[in-house]
Amino acid sequence: DAGVIQSPRHEVTEMGQEVTLRCKPISGHDYLFWYRQTMMRGLELLIYFNNNVPIDDSGMPEDRFSAKMPNASFSTLKIQPSEPRDSAVYFCASTFSVTKGNTIYFGEGSWLTVV
Amino acid sequence: AQTVTQSQPEMSVQEAETVTLSCTYDTSESDYYLFWYKQPPSRQMILVIRQEAYKQQNATENRFSVNFQKAAKSFSLKISDSQLGDAAMYFCAYKPRDNLFFGTGTRLTVIP
């Protein structure tokens, strides 16, 4: 079975440019998460969706960040305009419904460098 | 506040030996799950083992086992017969409901 699929794997962009990260969750999973990993802040949750609806976006740093989930098999995380401090590894993850024990499965991450 | 603490930023172990990674967490919940994830240099997050808080029996997956002490809010990972491929960052994570809360990680080095 395919896991969580993220694209691009690596992106280098210039400050001020728009960045779009993409994610395809595991088929049948109805929770989707976006995490960011940096040396300074570790792994932090940005936003998560349940049945395509954003449930908690309190981790989204500021208005420059936006996330959408137009259907059950696709989500995007957009940064506009990008800044050097946005450089990080961005993970998408998914899981089945709400029961506490369902394991969250991660994609391979998107490495973003903003210069 | 729900926090996860990994007090060992770095650990090392000789190949074939045993190592234990520590994790404590703070919660007022009675029902939750705990996980250990491994992150090799490729940065992929790989599930190692999980523990259900309502089960007293410690989880085991091949060479990996946990020591879960609910009253002490402690969840340590023991790796037996360490292999070179075990070298990675290890993250402890706590899941009360929908989200995972991560510790800061322990970097494990395996010495040949």
Write out pLDDT tens, residues A79-107: 999 999 999 999 999 998 756 567 889 99
A96 touches chain B (CB under 8 A): no
A105 touches chain B (CB under 8 A): yes
* β-pair partners for A74: A71
Q: pLDDT digit string (tens) for A20-41?
A: 999 999 999 999 999 999 988 8
Mean pLDDT of all residues belonging to chain A: 93
Give B102's contacts in chain A (Cβ within 8 Å).
42-43
pLDDT, residue B21, reads 98
Q: What is the mean pLDDT of residues A10-29?
A: 96
Low-confidence ranges of chain B (pLDDT < 50): none
* β-pair partners for B77: B21, B66
- Cβ-contact A11, A82 below 8 angstroms: no
Give B47's contacts in chain A (Cβ within 8 Å).
103, 105
Token couple for A52: 């395509």
pLDDT, residue B55, reads 87
pLDDT, residue B97, reads 79
Long-range contacts of A62-67 (CB under 8 A, 24+ apart): A67/A34
Query: What DSSP designation does B95 have?
Result: E
For chain B, strand residue ranges (E) read 3-5, 10-14, 19-21, 24-26, 33-39, 46-52, 60-61, 64-69, 74-79, 88-95, 101-102, 106-111
pLDDT, residue A71, reads 95
Q: pLDDT digit string (tens) for B40-57?
A: 998 899 999 999 888 888
pLDDT, residue A1, reads 61
- Closest to A81 in 3D by CA, of A14, A5, A4, A1: A14
How far CA A62 is from CA of A66, B16, B18, B66, B111, in Å, comes to: 9, 47, 44, 38, 43
